[in-house]
Amino acid sequence: MRILVLGGDGYLGWPTALHLSRRGHDVGIVDNFARRSYDFEMGVDSLVPIQNLQRRVRTWEEVSGLEMTTYVGDLTDAPFVDGVLRDFQPDTVVHFAEQRSAPYSMIDQKHAVYTQVNNVVGTLNLLYAIADVDPSIHLVKLGTMGEYGTPNIDIEEGFIEITHRGRTDVLPYPKQPGSFYHLSKVHDSANIMFACRIWGLASTDLNQGIVYGQETEETALHPDLATRFDYDSVFGTVLNRFCVQAVVGHPVTVYGSGGQIRGMLDIRDTLACVELACTNPAEAGEFRVFNQFTESFSVSELAGMVVDAYPGRVEVENLEDPRVEKQEHYYRAAHTKLLDLGLVPHLLNRTTISSLLAVADRHRDRVDVTAVRPTVQWRSTASALATSGSPTTSKPSNIGVSKA
């Protein structure tokens, strides 16, 4: 296949592009480097050093002997999106290219507005471009399990059968998103479903759980191929952050009681799930939803696993929860569709956590301890987080293309 990976310079986009390339697909990457600009704004950096995209691609081509095309530009620039699709002519578009941090979206009004404009407008431009250029392109869109929230009933995969006053219908599962970021994903899902219905597009919405891990078979081939590892309170996911805190002797910071339950998956399973979605595409006019996670854990359970796996002493500190969320709740979510397609999960165990701790220990001199404690308060419209100003991205008016 010809697969275009949007956000291909990011934490998941980059290893996904490498994985698909190694599996024999012709891969193109689109990115505007916004994620790198967030680091500058927040005053932090990836724990694991990462190279610029040009060097990454050059090294990949040298190591693998496989070519990769790159485009530099912004999805909110509609002519750019249209031009990329016409130039690359993909069979499938994998869409990672969104601001993906809930805390970042809750910093203040500017960051909330930026997140929704960036995410929703970019996806709308993509839908219009697919409809105009080639409606047969399969859109694989990365959503989030956070769209559902924590209802007191079982979570289905996208849709639920409801009987009301004697009549029955299958409807989109009710959404209870927990941040302006999660809301942007809900808007995306509604827009994509609508586009599939009226234009006959084909799309798979991957409602992904929290991803942990940093190394894949492809990124391990050369140091230049490493993907990022975020540990700060704004972009760092919970297990990665806990492992870094343990290594540097900082208490593992559990928000509230720690009873919050979330779906989790290994980074290697993200790659496998995306490939399964690409190679088993949706039909024309079909909007399907896969819940992309493999296990569920409470935050306290994750903290306990890190304490057990780390050879030294680790303290756990329960902080006042900066988020507005249920501390204890029912959580049972269906996630069978990817398993039915052949997913063989990497389940979380002591060995996995030990490997994360080893990554953190190798780069412990890069840890900024001041970045691990929460600074963004959901209940406030003006966060105490000091940043360098409004979120910004580069928006070139022309297609920046590099073809090896």
CA distances from 297 to 43, 109, 125, 348 (A): 31, 32, 36, 10
Q: Name the nearest CA neighbour of 63 among 210, 212, 219, 193.
A: 219
Q: Name the nearest CA neighbour of 236 among 250, 224, 223.
A: 250
Residue 40 region, left (φ>0) first, then alpha (ψ -120 to 50), else beta? alpha
CA angle, corner 205, sides to 110 and 297, nearest 5?
80
Alpha-carbon span 397 to 404, nearest angstrom? 22
- The CB-side HSE value for 394 (13 A sphere, CA atoms) comes to 12
Please state at what angle helix 109-116 crosses helix 180-199, rounded to 10 degrees. 20
Alpha-carbon span 227 to 213, nearest angstrom? 10
Catalytically active residues are 144, 181, 185
Alpha-carbon span 280 to 204, nearest angstrom? 10
How many other β-carbons are positioned within 10 Å of the β-carbon of residue 82? 18
Residue 127's contacts (CB-CB under 8 Å, 6 or more residues apart) are 139, 191, 192, 195, 199, 201
Alpha-carbon span 289 to 19, nearest angstrom? 22
Instruction: Write out the H or E segment, with its range, that includes residue 60.
Output: helix 53-64
Instruction: Write out the H or E segment, with its range, that includes residue 159.
Output: strand 159-164
CA distances from 288 to 202, 284, 317 (A): 9, 11, 41
Single-letter residue type at 169: D
